[in-house]
């Protein structure tokens, strides 16, 4: 997401990167997990001993802190529908759990780390505002309730 945020890539290159991210997300889903564009790396590093185990923390954890930046970068590239698609699952889980967790397990979709992670709150808020600035209304659908985020 840093190369996107910095404007280094062309729009075509951004679409290629995003397509690979969505393929990775689909693979996680096909394997029974859940992920967003906040997926830190994939495929996961194997367990090499030590503290960084597969699917833990930044070894294929899912971080809104990264995903929100990706959404803001997509808006900069005028990839609005892609940005909405990328943002929605991150906002959905905040609504569902009522907190801005630090990261999420892709194995079971459960929140991990700090439940008041300001980094997540900040980048998701910025991503929503970036979409609003592009005159897009983000609708969050959970169960039978619909809420506008403004």
- Structure token digits, residue 134: 């592009």
Cβ–Cβ contacts within 10 Å for residue 58, how many? 12
Q: Is 62 helix (H, G, I), strand (E, B) or coil?
A: strand
pTM value?
A: 0.86
Q: Are 15 and 28 in contact (CB under 8 A)?
A: no
User: Residue 58: which pLDDT band, with cuts at 50, 70 and 90?
Assistant: confident
Closest to 36 in 3D by CA, of 13, 15, 57, 61: 61
The pLDDT tens digits for 1-50 are 667 777 899 999 999 999 999 999 999 999 999 999 999 989 998 876 77
- What is the Cβ-side half-sphere exposure of residue 108, based on CA atoms within 13 angstroms? 4
- Rg over alpha carbons for the chain, rounded to the nearest Å, is 15
> Phi and psi for 15 in degrees, rounded to 5?
-60, -35
With a CB cutoff of 8 Å and minimum separation 6, the contacts of 22 are: 37
User: Residue 71: which pLDDT band, with cuts at 50, 70 and 90?
Assistant: very high
28 CA to centre of own chain:
14
């Amino acid at each position: 997401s840093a190369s996107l945020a910095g404007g280094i890539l062309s729009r075509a290159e951004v679409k290629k990167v995003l397509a690979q991210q969505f393929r990775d997300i689909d693979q996680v889903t096909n394997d029974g997990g859940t992920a967003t564009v906040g997926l830190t790396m994939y495929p996961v590093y194997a367990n090499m001993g030590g503290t960084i185990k597969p699917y833990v923390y930044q070894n294929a954890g899912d971080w809104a802190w990264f995903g929100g930046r990706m959404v803001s970068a997509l808006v900069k590239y005028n990839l609005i529908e892609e940005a909405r698609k990328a943002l929605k699952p991150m906002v959905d889980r905040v609504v569902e759990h009522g907190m801005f967790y630090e990261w999420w397990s892709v194995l079971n979709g459960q929140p991990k780390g700090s439940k008041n992670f300001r980094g997540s709150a900040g980048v998701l808020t910025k991503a929503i505002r970036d979409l609003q600035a592009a005159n897009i209304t983000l609708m969050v659908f959970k169960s039978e309730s619909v809420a506008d985020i403004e």
